[in-house]
């Protein structure tokens, strides 16, 4: 694992978090990125994406993700594509967020509660 640039905690600390906590931290950064997309600030969007990439890298190191690592790495690949584009795509950003949250039912219930 490379030295972290944006996060001060250790990989062991990250692995001690419940899986839904990990996904929700990633989702938070993607939501922040979407906010910057709406404000047309691609420089700040890319900073959010850099933090997301770092969190995904930490997450794939966690053995609890097992077969879902492939999905995390696919999201990372798509995020890398978004990062390199000059024009930021809010819809694709939200699609990545939804797909990541779908990896953990508890995170999904927290982020998208059922309205009664």
The model's pTM: 0.90
Q: What is the pLDDT of residues 78-87, one digit of tens each?
A: 999 999 998 8
Q: What is the pLDDT of residues 43-72, one digit of tens each?
A: 999 999 999 999 999 999 999 999 999 999
Token pair of 114 as six digits: 């059922």
Helices 69-84 and 42-60: crossing angle, nearest 10°?
Answer: 160
Residue 91 has pLDDT above 90, yes or no: yes
Give residue 112's pLDDT: 87
What gap in Å lies between CA 4 and CA 78, rounded to an integer? 21
Q: Which domains can be identified in the chain, with CATH numbers? A: 11-110 (1.20.120)
Helices 19-38 and 42-60: crossing angle, nearest 10°?
Answer: 170
């Amino acid at each position: 694992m490379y030295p972290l640039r944006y996060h001060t905690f250790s990989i062991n600390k990250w692995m001690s978090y419940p899986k839904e906590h990990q996904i929700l931290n990633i989702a938070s950064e993607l939501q922040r990125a979407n906010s910057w997309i709406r404000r047309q600030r691609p420089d700040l969007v890319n900073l959010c994406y850099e933090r997301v990439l770092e969190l995904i890298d930490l997450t794939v190191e966690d053995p609890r993700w097992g077969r879902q690592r492939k999905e995390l790495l696919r999201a990372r690949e798509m995020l890398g594509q978004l990062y390199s584009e000059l024009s930021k795509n809010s819809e694709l950003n939200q699609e990545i967020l939804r797909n990541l949250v779908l990896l953990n039912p508890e995170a999904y219930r927290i982020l998208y509660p059922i309205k009664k």
